[in-house]
Amino acid sequence: MSSSYSKQIIELNSGEKIKCDIVKEENGVLTVVSDTFGEMTINRSSIKVIIELDERTGYRYDDPNHCSLLFMPSAETNSKGTWYVSDYELVFMNVGYSPIDDLHISTGFLFPIVPEMLTEGPISFGAKLRTISEPYKYNMSIMGSFTTILDEPNAGIITYGAAYNYYLSPATTANFYMGGLTTTETAGMESIFSFGLALTFRTSESSKFIFEYLNGGMFDDIETKGIMLFGLRFFGEKISADLAGVKFLDISGSEPWFFIPLLSLTYHF
């Protein structure tokens, strides 16, 4: 049996922990299939605690911030009734809520990936609707947002797009995003289109590695072919923290090793 699908961790009174699938229990004796030892029996009196795992991933809990990647939107949504608060660079706050399993709405300050975002409009309102879902197999969502422009109170920036993810394994996902950006002044007649690709790899019980690439369409005002983001996410049952770097590609005069640090903290409740 693959360890990816084991359903329990049994901690014995001796302190030993056994990752396994409990097959049956009779007369105080459990029959289990262990990832390491195969089929075996354990007396109930020898057990200190049984920890239930998510049978789809083999871990105690999933990434609570699975609805987001580093910068690119994810195709997943949070469960009904869930709130979250995200803090980028300890300054730029975002708040979101899921009234149903397949919808979440959010508002807050945009993380300024380029300086123009600070002056053009830091406050954004958005929504994401999951239209196709097969848990731990694939998801598809459509999304949109409206961002205010400080210097032009009657104008705003509109984004729209769709995201798709596919589980290559219970611990690895491939993600794709395609979308556009327009303004209320053009009534949608002029748009800048962009796409993004991302991979996530579960590296441990409480961490994952994320790699993203977004093309240069959304950064029309600067000389770049896109951005690359890579980093680690550390998480518990309700909190996650990202430690990542942002690299603008092919900017004239930039050093190959130069990247912008990206820090974020998210709490779900």
Which pLDDT belongs to residue 57?
65
Instruction: Give the largest Cα separation in the chain, rounded.
Output: 75
Give yes or no for a contact between 21 and 33, defined as CB atoms under 8 angstroms apart.
yes
Which pLDDT belongs to residue 216?
61
**What tokens does 118 get?**
């600070």
Give yes or no for a contact between 145 and 161, defined as CB atoms under 8 angstroms apart.
no
12-49 pLDDT, tens per residue?
Answer: 999 888 888 899 999 999 999 986 778 999 999 999 99
| E strand or H helix at 212 | strand 207-215
Which pLDDT belongs to residue 136?
75
The pLDDT confidence band at residue 8, using thresholds 50, 70 and 90, is: confident
Q: How many CA atoms lie within 13 A of 178 on its CB side?
A: 2
Q: In this predicted model, which residue has the larger pLDDT, 162 or 93?
A: 162
The mean pLDDT value for 90-108 works out to 87
Of 269, 268, 217, residue with least CA distance to 66: 268
Give yes or no for a contact between 60 and 19, defined as CB atoms under 8 angstroms apart.
no
Please, is 162 exposed, middle or buried when counting C-beta atoms within 10 Å of its C-beta (0-12, 13-18, 19+)? Answer: middle
For residue 140, the Cα-to-chain-centroid distance in whole angstroms is 14
Q: In this predicted model, which residue has the larger pLDDT, 125 or 188?
A: 125
Q: What is the pTM of this model?
A: 0.76
Q: Is the pLDDT of residue 99 over 50?
A: yes
186-238 pLDDT, tens per residue?
Answer: 766 777 888 899 999 999 889 999 999 988 655 555 556 788 899 999 998 88
**What tokens does 266 get?**
């998210």
Cα separation of 133 and 102, whole Å? Answer: 9
| E strand or H helix at 29 | strand 29-34
Same fold across 3-52 and 83-268: no
Delimit the domains of the chain by residue range.
Answer: 3-52, 83-268
What CATH number has the domain spanning 3-52? 2.30.30.100
What CATH number has the domain spanning 83-268? 2.40.160.40
The pLDDT confidence band at residue 115, using thresholds 50, 70 and 90, is: very low
Cα separation of 73 and 46, whole Å? Answer: 47
User: What SS3 state is found at 118?
Assistant: helix
The pLDDT confidence band at residue 119, using thresholds 50, 70 and 90, is: very low
Of 251, 258, 257, 201, residue with least CA distance to 231: 201
Which pLDDT belongs to residue 252?
52
| Sequence letter at residue 92 | F
User: What SS3 state is found at 67?
Assistant: coil
Q: What's the mean pLDDT when you consider all of the chain? A: 82
| E strand or H helix at 225 | none
Residues in the chain: 269
The mean pLDDT value for 246-261 works out to 70
Of 255, 251, 261, residue with least CA distance to 231: 261
